[in-house]
Amino acid sequence: MDQVLTMTETETVELKKSLAELKQGLISLAAMLNKHGQAELWFGIAPNDKAVGLEISEKTLRDVSQAITAHMEPAIYPHITQQCIDGKHCLQIKAEGWQQPYLALENAPSTSFDEIGGLFITRFNRPSALDASQDAPAIRPETSLKTTQELPQATQETTQELPRTTQEILLQHLRSQPGITTVELARVTGLSPDGVKYHLNQLKRTGKLRRHGPTKGGYWEVVTKADE
């Protein structure tokens, strides 16, 4: 059904002109869910609140849903529909969530978003296990079989050693690099800058982390039980 509406952004409604802005939209989606527990994201609406429309197919709906699920933590399963606004085809994404905090991940997995000729294309780049480390040496043919056989055990041991929560990952980096910045933490953890700030505030509030000095030039202190 064709709707004649003047769309307006609110604390729970965000408007985007095209799907090329999906990454920015995911950050807004996480912020709205964290604050209100519900969010509504529109694509195909220009900054002047007028519908400009998109070319939408079933594949577009499927790809957008997969991209959102892959880049949100905890995962959400939004309701995605095609709406006709002022004669233009637009995409409406509605979501609810009460497992705060929600984070818009920047590197999970490596994904590219392109808009070509009005079509939205998502590329999921999933490297093989042998290519997972950028610093891994080249594997010679005569040793490839042995490496493949040993890989599952090594992967399992590495997984067991990793911290199990986002805050433990942050604390691990802060212990080894007390002077690390929020931007650097976002880069090494794959979290958004807002997600890093949220967890740092939570760690300070619970007494697990202290900040010494100014934003520039200061450092972090991870508080252990013995220090309390």
* C-alpha–C-alpha distance, residues 178 and 155, integer Å: 28
Position 122 scores a pLDDT of 52
139 domain residue, yes or no: no
Q: Are residues 118 and 181 in the same domain?
A: no
Position 44 scores a pLDDT of 92
143 domain residue, yes or no: no
Q: Are residues 120 and 189 in the same domain?
A: no
Position 54 scores a pLDDT of 92
* C-alpha–C-alpha distance, residues 21 and 152, integer Å: 38
Q: Are residues 194 and 117 in the same domain?
A: no
Position 151 scores a pLDDT of 40
Question: Whose CA is closest to 22, among 54, 68, 73?
Answer: 68
The predicted model scores a pTM of 0.49
137 domain residue, yes or no: no
Domain boundary among 77, 100, 125: 125
Consecutive 10-residue averages of pLDDT for the chain (228 residues): 65 92 90 92 88 89 86 87 91 90 68 52 47 41 39 42 68 88 82 84 89 85 74
Q: Are residues 93 and 200 in the same domain?
A: no
Q: Are residues 114 and 61 in the same domain?
A: yes
Position 162 scores a pLDDT of 38
CATH number, residue 180: 1.10.10.10
70 domain residue, yes or no: yes
154 domain residue, yes or no: no
Position 106 scores a pLDDT of 66
The identity of residue 215, as a single letter, is: T
The SS3 assignment for 156 reads helix
Q: Facing residues of 95 across strands?
A: 39
The identity of residue 208, as a single letter, is: K
| CB distance 111 to 190 below 8 Å | no
Give how many domains the chain has, as a whole number.
Answer: 2
The SS3 assignment for 108 reads coil
Domain boundary among 125, 153, 184: 125
Position 150 scores a pLDDT of 44
Position 105 scores a pLDDT of 78
Identify the helix (H) or strand (E) that includes residue 220.
strand 219-222
Domain boundary among 104, 125, 146: 125
* C-alpha–C-alpha distance, residues 209 and 174, integer Å: 9
CA-derived radius of gyration, the chain:
21
Residue-number span of the structural domain to which 167 is assigned: 162-228
Six token digits for residue 101: 């905090």
